[in-house]
Structure formats: C-alpha cells, structure tokens
Amino acid sequence: MPAHSLAQGLRLPVNGLDYAILAVYFAVVLGIGFAARRSVRTSLDFFLSGRSLPAWVTGLAFVAANLGATEILGMAANGAQYGAYTVHWYWIGAIPAMVFLGLVMMPFYYGSKVRSVPEFLLHRFGPASHLLSSVIFAVSSVLIAGVNLYAMAIVLQALLGWPQWVAIVVAGFFVLAYITLGGLSSAIYNEVLQFFVILAALIPLTVVGLKRVGGWGGLSDSLTATHGEDFLSAWGGTGIGHANPLGANWLTIVLGLGFVMSFGYWTTNFAEVQRALSARNLSAARRTPLIAAFPKMFIPLVVVVPGLIATVMEPALGKPGSSLSYNDAIPVLMRDLLPNGVLGVAVTGLLAAFMAGMAANVSAFNTVFTNDIWAAYAKRDREDAYYLRTGRVVTAVGVVAGMGTAFIASSFSNIMNYLQTLFSFFNVPLFCVFIIGMFWKRATAAAGFWGLLTGTVAAMINYFWFYKQGVIAIPSDQGANFVSSIVAFAVGAVVMGAVSLFTTPKPAGSLAGLVYGTVSPGMAEPPAEGDDAWYRSPALLGWGAVILAAACYIPFSL
Amino acid sequence: MSEYEYQHEVEELERASATAARLFDVRRIIGGLFTLYGLVVTIAGLTASDADIKKAQGINLNLWTGVGMLALGLLFFLWLILRPTPPPPPAQD
C-alpha cells in the first residue's frame, strides 16, 4: 500500500478521556514486553516462541499481522473507490491461499523444523537461492517497516496534530522495547490484543455509519443511484474486454489476484508464516492459517462497508479538487460519528494496528537476518546465547533502520512507492519455486535459483517496461500488478523446468520431509491429547472456510 | 555435517525452551484490558451529553460499546476459570 497523504481539516476532537485510553494501551504493551522477557531463555524462544503457542493465539496473530493500519485504511479506500470489487482481496485473494497453506504446505514447513521460510529453500535447493531470498526479504522487511512508520506519522499528524518526528520516534521506541525484551512472544501477544481493540473500534463505527445512511437498503440505493449497478456487484462489468474501474477482468482477478499474488503473499511471506511456525505442534501449526481464515472472511464487513458509507456521507471523497482522498474514508467517519470514549478506542486501535504492522516485519526481519544470514554465512557454530544476543541487537538495528527509512520516505515518497512495487514482485516467483520444489523431486538447486531470479526480473520488465512504457495496454496499476504476477509465475515455472532438465537433481535421500510424498526422520510426532476432536480437524476447518467464502459471494453476484 | 543436524539442533532448543513453562497466559491480559476499557467507556456512556448522542445518530454509542467490551473482558476471565492454563508439558527426553 503506498504511503498516502491525509487531508488537513481531519483533526479529531480528542479529549483527556481518549488520551487516557491510549496511555493505558501503551503501558500494557510495555508490560507485555517485560512480562514476556522471563520466558526467553534460548534463541528459539526469542525467534519462534519456543514452538509452543496454542493455535487460537497464533491464528489470531496470523490475521492481525496482516490487519495493519495501512491495510485497514487502504482497503476502506479501495471500497470507496472500486465498491464491491474490493471483496476479491478477501474471499478469492486470501481464503484459498490460507487454506492451502494450512492443509498442504504446513506439514513441510513445520514438520521439517525449519525456522524460517528462506531456511526451507536452503535445505531444498541449497545456498544460492537461500542467500538471495534471505537478503531480499531482510531488506524489504526493513523498508516496509519504515514505510509503515511513515504512513503512521502522516496519519497522526493529520488526526492528532503530532509532529511527524514525534510519531516516528515514539512508535519506533515502543516497538523496539517490546520486541527486544520479549521477542516473538510479545509481538504475537500484542497482535492478539490489537485484533480485539481494532474490532472494538470498527464494529461501532460501522453500526453508526449504517444508521446514518439509512441501513444497508439506504446505502445500496444511494450508491446505485450515484455509481451505477455494478458498484455493489463483485463480478458485474468484469467480462474480458469490458471496461471497469479496477482495470481487471475475471480471468486476471482469478489467476493473478486469486492464484499467484495471494498464494505468493500468504504462503511464502515469512512475516505471516512465522506465526504458524511458533505453534506448539503440527496440528496447531496447520490450524493457524485456518483459524485465521474465519475472521479474515468477515473483515470486509467492518472495513469495506465503512469505505462505502464514507462515499455516501462525503461525496467529494477522492474527487479531483477535494481535499479528502480515498484513504481518508475511515478517519472521516471517526471524526463525524464517534463520541469521545469510543473515539479514544478507535485512535488506540489505529495506532496499535500501525505498531503491530511494523512489529510483524521487525520480528520476521530479526529471525531471517540472525538465522539465515548471520548464523549461516558470517559467524557459524557459536553457542546459542550468542545468537540470542545477536537477535536482540539486530532487532534494535532493524527498528532504527526502519525509523531512518521513515525519515527518508518523508522527503522521497515516490521512490518509496517504487521500491515497494519492486519488492512486491519477489513473492510470486518465490511461491513458484516453493510449489514446484515441494511437488517435483526432479527440480534442481540451479533451477531454484534461476527460477527465482528470472521470475522476479520478468515481473519487473512487464511492469516497468511493457506497462509503464505503454507497450501493452492495461487500464490501471492494479490490473498491471495482476498481469505481472501471472507473467512472473509462468516465466519462473518454465525456467525451472528447463534448467532442471539440464542439471543434476539432489539425491532423493537428502529431500526427505521437503518434497511431497516423503517424511523426514523423526517428523511423525504423536498427536497431542484432544487434537483429534472433530472441530480441530484441519480438513474440516479448511474446506469449511472455502465453502463459506464462496457463499459470501452469493449476495454480491445475483 | 549431517543432513538433519539442524533438526536435532531445533529439537535441543525446544527442550531447553522456557516459553511453555514461563510465558503468562494472554487471556489474562485481554480480560484485564477489556474489563478496564469496558468500565471506563460504560461510565462515559452513562454520563453522555446530548451532543455525544446526537453525534452518534441517536445511539448511546459509549454505553453499548462499553458494555460490549466489558462482556468480552469478563468472558475471557470466565474462559480462564473454566479452562485454566494447562501445566507445562513434562520435559521430553
């Protein structure tokens, strides 16, 4: 999501009560850090909570790590701009990939006992692809943490009148403190807390907003009158060759967003997968994304619907000449509808969501940097306490680098948008390499590296040359993103196939537990007591989520 | 270096890990924070001004949100009482 600018005149009428609610939250966040500190004895405690958390905690953290404030403001903005098309980001663009991660991929990730997503590449393909993906992941997560911090500074400046540097320093300090103290456990606990606080803000906001515009009936009547029939339809106007505001047709939505982009993000982004790897056993790890799928499915009700309400309440939103951009949808509703008290909860929720979004990236960064770069290539075979110390230092370095990025972003925001787009092209080829590596024993080490590299380069060429230079006509950035992802996946897959045919595969014995149909020694652990209950069955949870997500489409497709 | 050495390393770290035994239960934090927030926001609702209620389209939003948050906080405490934190698993050998 690009760093955005919020309009002046959005200042919220906060009072002492609201600030008291916010102050309590900051105190609790620090308290969690201090209380979690005593549970950190080994590096595994620091980076993966000792692989011991229950599934409902990791599941809620999984969804909350994605529910950062840039996501909330951005998806409400998409709702205001594109209408019901925005639901594709949830129901086809998230649920199937989350279910696939839980049902198909998690046994390889968790069962092989890797500590990070890049580490899986090391064992499956070897050091070249491992180092490439580790370095790119480390750089991009610091960058994203910084962009997130910058976005927060802009929002707080507009809403509360805080100078940008105050917001950057305060939020950066709190994130640094609680992760350095308690490691992943305190990041995850804060995410779970943030999940409930942001819902406690968004649910009342949506209810009051709906009452203001005359309920769902009043809302859809107003939107149909001003924006036409297709605005509240998920698939209306997405025929191939048909123009629509999203700039994408049903095929690029299903293949680009629903398959390659979403699978790339949800199944290989370590900031997400890390939550599942911290679960206490394989069953809990598999259930992590499946439990997350259910809240994820209903989040559009309290994020996209407020975006729609805002377009009715403030028709000028996002129009040329207006001082309000689409990103202002939720802040406008907060300003106009929430009394002091709930307003404090909403400000706290938004701030918590910004900090959690940053913390998810920082906690993934310190793990990958320490385990996959430092311990693998710089200082090998030290005692565990050394890597634990390194992890804490790297956390501090990562946060400070993120704060630096935020300050740079405030003067060069266009460059930051460019870089973010650039890094977003890395997940898709990564997914391509993973999926082929997991299902095709013949895929070789060289194929993994070249698939990763050529897929990424192909996506960049498609986006920055073919699309930006106008060689092929795609109506919007969103549409071009979808097409670039499909290109990245196809090129990566073809290159992997071709290179594999000309290089020698790894011996089958070294792939046990890493490729479909194999089990690594000692991987089969007995199921924990109670995990055989029907409501803990991964297959039931997974297929239930898919069917429910498909059913969600019905009211928006008739 | 054996192919599966890293797995034994992780297993050893899991045995030495202190998280399962010493990490507090997050339900207590959620319960505490939401009970406190619920009380504060409910009181703000009981003393709501006409302007507050008018702003929220005639709904006493603080009262309803406060009661809802209080209920959530108490539910987490109830869950904690009914299903207490499981004792840490015995050290594996």
- b/e per residue, A354-384, with b = 16+ CB within 10 A? bbbbbbbbbbbbbbbbbbbbbbbeeeeeeeb
Give the integer Cα–Cα distance in Å for A141 and A15: 35
Q: Which of A558, A547, A543, A433 is nearest to A496 (CA)?
A: A433
State the amino acid at position A232 in one-letter form.
L
Q: Are residues A22 and A108 in the same domain?
A: yes
* Cβ count within 10 A of residue A187: 33
Q: Are residues A143 and A157 in the same domain?
A: yes
In which band, very low, low, confident or very high, does the pLDDT at A31 lie, cut at 50, 70 and 90?
very high
Q: Are residues A484 and A342 in the same domain?
A: no
Q: Shortest Cα distance from A182 to chain B (angstroms)?
A: 10
State residue A433 phi and psi, 5-degree precision: -65, -40
Q: Are residues A373 and A492 in the same domain?
A: no
Q: Are residues A497 and A538 in the same domain?
A: no
The CA–CA distances, whole Å, from A550 to A51, A76, A91, A301, A555 equal 33, 22, 7, 15, 10
More confident residue, A190 or B1: A190
The label of the residue with tokens 């129009």 reads: A319
Nearest to B13 among A44, A119, A280 (CB): A44
| Pick among B9, B10, B17, B79 to test the A interface (most A CBs inside 10 A) | B17
Give the integer Cα–Cα distance in Å for A284 and A271: 18
Range of the domain at A420: 16-424+529-556
Number of folded domains that form chain A: 2
| Structural contact between residues A550 and A297, judged by C-beta atoms closer than 8 angstroms | no
Nearest to B17 among A44, A123, A208 (CB): A44
Q: Are residues A378 and A495 in the same domain?
A: no
Q: Please, which residues bridge with residue A53 across strands?
A: A279
What ipTM was predicted for this assembly?
0.91
In which band, very low, low, confident or very high, does the pLDDT at A1 lie, cut at 50, 70 and 90?
very low
Position A2 pLDDT exceeds 50 = no
Nearest to A49 among B19, B57, B64 (CB): B19
In which band, very low, low, confident or very high, does the pLDDT at B36 lie, cut at 50, 70 and 90?
very high
Q: Are residues A124 and A245 in the same domain?
A: yes
The verdict on a CB contact (< 8 Å) between A338 and B61 is: yes
Contacts with B14 from chain A: Cβ below 8 Å: 44, 50-52
Residues A143-185: pLDDT tens digits?
Answer: 888 888 888 888 888 889 889 899 999 999 999 999 999 999 9
Greatest mean pLDDT among A126-130, A258-262, A463-467, B51-55 lies in: A126-130
Nearest to A341 among B14, B26, B44 (CB): B44
Q: Are residues A495 and A533 in the same domain?
A: no
The CA–CA distances, whole Å, from A202 to A69, A270, A300, B53 equal 12, 27, 11, 18
Residues A481-502: pLDDT tens digits?
Answer: 888 888 999 999 999 999 999 9
Sorted by where each begins, the domain ranges of chain B are 29-84
The enclosing H or E element of A252 equals helix A250-252
Position B93 pLDDT exceeds 60 = no
The CA–CA distances, whole Å, from A3 to A148, A419, B60 equal 8, 12, 35
Q: Which residue of A has its CA nearest to B53?
A: A339
Residue A11 lies in a domain: no
The verdict on a CB contact (< 8 Å) between B37 and A345 is: yes
Q: Are residues A96 and A234 in the same domain?
A: yes
Residue A8 lies in a domain: no
Q: Are residues A186 and A259 in the same domain?
A: yes
Q: Are residues A282 and A409 in the same domain?
A: yes
Residue-level pLDDT at B1: 40
Residues A405-429: pLDDT tens digits?
Answer: 888 877 776 666 666 676 677 888 8
Q: Shortest Cα distance from B29 to chain A (angstroms)?
A: 8
Nearest to B30 among A43, A185, A192 (CB): A192
Give the integer Cα–Cα distance in Å for A89 and A295: 14
The verdict on a CB contact (< 8 Å) between A337 and B23 is: no
Q: How far apart are the first and last CA of chain A?
A: 31
Q: Where are the beta strands (DSSP E) in A231-278?
A: none
Q: Are residues A298 and A413 in the same domain?
A: yes
- Segment A195-224 mean pLDDT: 93
Q: Shortest Cα distance from A126 to chain B (angstroms)?
A: 12
Give the mean pLDDT of chain A: 88
Residues A246-292: pLDDT tens digits?
Answer: 777 888 888 888 888 889 889 999 999 999 999 999 999 999 999 99
More confident residue, A414 or A120: A120
Which of A5-9, A87-91, B56-60 is the least confident region? A5-9
Residue A373 lies in a domain: yes
Give the integer Cα–Cα distance in Å for A464 and A404: 27
| Structural contact between residues A483 and A467, judged by C-beta atoms closer than 8 angstroms | yes
Residue A30 lies in a domain: yes
Q: Which residue of A has its CA nearest to B73?
A: A196
